[in-house]
């Protein structure tokens, strides 16, 4: 099973966004677990995973 960090690294996000997201998730275990569950859904395509991460990043910037 892939870790959430491997999933994030496998998607074409800019390096700055990848770092911001991973740094946040290191500090916030509950959010990491929920996001990991959402990303590991077998029904999610890579495109859907990328969109989910982009939306999640928007919540960090707000």
> Per-domain residue ranges for the chain?
4-61
pLDDT band at 61 (very low <50, low <70, confident <90, very high): confident
The more confident residue out of 1 and 45 is 45
Q: State the pTM of this model.
A: 0.86
pLDDT above 90 (res 48): yes
pLDDT above 80 (res 62): no
- Which residues neighbour 4 within 8 Å (Cβ) at sequence distance 6 or greater? 25, 32, 35, 36, 39
Residue 1 has what pLDDT? 57
pLDDT over 70 percentage in the chain: 97
| Other residues' Cβ atoms within 10 Å of the Cβ of residue 2 | 12
Residue 2 has what pLDDT? 74
């Amino acid at each position: 099973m892939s870790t959430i960090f491997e999933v994030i690294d496998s998607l074409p996000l800019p390096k700055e966004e990848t770092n911001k997201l991973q740094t946040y998730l290191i500090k916030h275990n509950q959010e990491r677990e929920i996001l990991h569950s959402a990303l590991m859904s077998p029904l999610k395509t890579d495109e859907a995973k990328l969109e989910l991460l982009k939306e999640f990043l928007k919540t960090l910037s707000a």
